[in-house]
Structure 1
Amino acid sequence: MTTSPLSRTESFVRIIAAYVVALVVGVAWLWWGPAAAWLWLDALIANVLATLVVFVASRLHHNSSFYDAYWSVVPPLLMLFWWLESPAGLGEPRLWLVATVVVFWAVRLTGNWAYTFPGLHHEDWRYPMLRERAGRWELLVDLVAIHLVPTLLVFGATLPVYVAVVRTDRDLGWLDLIALLVGIGSVILSLVADTQMHRFVRVREPGQVMDRGLWGWSRHPNYLGEIGFWFSLALFGLAASPADAWWIFAGAVAMLVLFLTASIPMMEQRSLERRPGYQDVVNRVPRLMLRPPRRATG
């Protein structure tokens, strides 16, 4: 006897329920677990435990896309925990700027996920590909590569927020303004790029490729906005603690490397295989940074 696929609403309910359980587990650790020597380590342990809950839900539903929204849900929660534990409380001006950028980004990215997610009958095409390549190690790859590594990457890139929370002895300055403008501008860039792509998908012909609007100036403007957001957090951390400049950009650089070496190449290869006309876009449109496209030759 076969069961019918879950509806979109049922899928959302199950994902939200899993995330609530994950949040409860994380908060329970922070409340009752042994305190670590550093506040950031407490948050990391709670984050990993919550990720394990989402991983279990993914395995139970045979769908690793259970994890997709976790990417954008966790940074605001980390920020809130650190903020509540901050000696400066809610009165620190820099934290309000950081919160503005983080919440704007989280709402935009989570909203885009919710808008495009059809339900748990669908799974991101990259996940089964990774599991199939892993063979008998597929469970380990699912746990580590699909769940834990992204959690650690996001946590590392969010650490400048922790610095901004705990280092409150420096007044706002010009670097904070730059960080705010970079952060808001980057989120707007991703928002506009995604909106343009959604409109294109609704009317495109079979095999047609997107080279309009921002997508005519960059093959991945949404990724460029995502990268810019993480660098804006690093700038906030630098503004709060210049002495930490030696490591403060590590998380943002790791995100940049992830997009350049994994996300973009995988998307490009898939587009080339599915849409022959995409090669023309590759020849004319920059890979990541925005600039006018080259003229077609021949």
Structure 2
Amino acid sequence: MNGLLPVAGLSLAAAAIVMTLTAYTARRTGRVSVVDTAWGIALLAVALVCAVLAGTWQSWLLVVLVGFWAGRLSSHIFTRSRGHGEDPRYEKLLGGSLDEVGMGVAVRKVFLVQGAAVWLVSLPLQGAAVAGPDRGWVVWVGVAVWVLGVVFETVGDAQLKAYKADPDRGPVMDRGLWSWTRHPNYFGDACVWWGIWLAGGVASGWVPGLVTVLSPVAMTVWLVWITGARLLEQTMMQRPGYPEYAARTSMFVPLPPKG
């Protein structure tokens, strides 16, 4: 068993180092949105710190789970954003471009917040490093939930890419997983972190499970109501056909389409 303070402190330090390097990259490129690519990398850095401290098979398995998720997410975001300018969401958050508001505002409103969010979401990794594996079978239940999430993310992104490449596509993507949920990638992301909570927090005991449940709850709240689905819906509802699609399709949890 490792001490709580060293694990928590070094995890916070890992997140801070990644966000500092990301802020430097943002200043060089003039784009705060590079933080989206760094999000997964920061969580992987914390997972590695926790595994080195713990040295258990559970923590190293969590490195594999977080690493696969982070690699897929970061490469997807990097490829999608390459060659584009600043994300309008960040310009709205900052109150202007990075050149207009300065790095001080960006650090305060974006990088400090994102660093704290990384630390919060990584609580199951820290719980596993502190307590160690207690219920091995729960680890594999968590892996199963994680696999479900990765499938939804990967298949949903692939279906969206195929839709965009189809010259005969309709005005709204409503094929495959997208006919059951309007945001299969966000749903998959939530499942990934509920799975990691099971494999890291709950599998280490009920107390670590209760303490670290803030991680998947926070991730789900962000994905649904703050930075994810609800925010995107404000723009998508302006598209022809989208209100009708929304009326028959679940926003988040996959359900059979209505009608």
**Which TM class, normalised by the smaller chain length?**
0.7 to 0.9
Q: Which TM-score applies when normalising by structure 2? A: 0.87
Tell me whether 1:148 sits opposite 2:112 in the alignment.
yes
Q: Secondary structure of 2:240's partner?
A: coil
Q: Which has the higher contact order (CA 8 A, sep 6+)?
A: 2
Q: Is the contact between residue 50 and residue 59 of structure 2 (CA under 8 Å) also seen in structure 1?
A: no
Q: Percent identity?
A: 27
| Cα offsets for 1:119-151 (capped at 9, x unmatched) | 2x42222111222379x9775553233322222
In structure 2, the partner of 1:101 is 65
Structure 1 residues 216 and 171, CA, compared in 2 at 3 Å: closer, same or farther?
closer
Tell me whether 1:53 sits opposite 2:21 in the alignment.
yes
Aligned-partner Cα distance in 2 for 1:228–1:169: 21
Q: Is the contact between residue 207 and residue 277 of structure 1 (CA under 8 Å) also seen in structure 2?
A: no
Aligned-partner Cα distance in 2 for 1:206–1:278: 14
Q: How many residues are matched?
A: 253
Q: Larger deviation: 258-267 or 221-230?
A: 258-267
Q: Secondary structure of 2:136's partner?
A: coil
Aligned partner of 1:265 among 202, 206, 230 = 230
**How do residues 1-298 of structure 1 correspond to structure 2 at under 5 angstroms?**
37-86=5-54, 89=55, 92-119=56-83, 121-132=84-95, 141-168=105-132, 170-173=134-137, 175-203=138-166, 208-236=171-199, 237-262=201-226, 263-273=228-238, 275-295=239-259
Structure 1: runs of 5 or more not aligned: 1-35
Structure 2: runs of 5 or more not aligned: none
Question: Between Structure 1 and Structure 2, whose CA radius of gyration is higher?
Answer: 1
Aligned-partner Cα distance in 2 for 1:56–1:255: 26
Aligned-partner Cα distance in 1 for 2:150–2:76: 12
Structure 1 residues 140 and 288, CA, compared in 2 at 3 Å: closer, same or farther?
farther
**RMSD, aligned CA:** 2.5
Aligned-partner Cα distance in 1 for 2:242–2:214: 33
Aligned-partner Cα distance in 2 for 1:77–1:277: 42
Structure 1 residues 268 and 205, CA, compared in 2 at 3 Å: closer, same or farther?
farther
Instruction: In structure 2, give the amino acid aligned to 1:269.
Output: Q
How far residue 50 of structure 1 moved from its aligned partner, in angstroms, is 3.2
Q: Which TM-score applies when normalising by structure 1? A: 0.77
Q: Which runs of 4+ in 1 moved over 4 A?
A: 136-141, 204-207
Instruction: In structure 2, give the amino acid aligned to 1:266.
Output: L
Structure 1 residues 102 and 46, CA, compared in 2 at 3 Å: closer, same or farther?
closer
Q: Is the contact between residue 108 and residue 187 of structure 1 (CA under 8 Å) also seen in structure 2?
A: no
Aligned-partner Cα distance in 2 for 1:166–1:245: 12
How far residue 112 of structure 1 moved from its aligned partner, in angstroms, is 1.4
In structure 2, the partner of 1:25 is none
Aligned-partner Cα distance in 2 for 1:216–1:153: 31
Instruction: In structure 1, give the amino acid aligned to 2:160.
Output: M
